Amino acid sequence: MDKNKTSIKKEIEEQKSSVKTINFSTQIEKIKIQRWKKWKYVRIVVLSLRMIRTIGS
């Protein structure tokens, strides 16, 4: 009886940890996407500033 309980607890813990790793990896993906979007936005701003400078001069 006790052995069964501990094995079930172990299984639950393992499932929890696997869910945590999945959440962690999805968070990393979200961060990567956010960084990429930010970088893309910065690039657009820089390019538009350059265009304004070349037109102005």
Average pLDDT over residues 20-43: 89
Cα distances (Å, whole numbers) of residue 21 to 13, 15, 33, 52: 12, 10, 18, 47
Average pLDDT over residues 35-48: 92
4 or 13: which leads in pLDDT: 13
30/51 Cα distance (integer angstroms):
32
pLDDT at 12: 86
pLDDT in tens, 8-23: 899 888 888 888 888 8
pLDDT (mean) for 20-30: 86
**pLDDT of the residue at 1:** 60
- Supply 27's token pair: 């968070």
pLDDT value, residue 2:
75
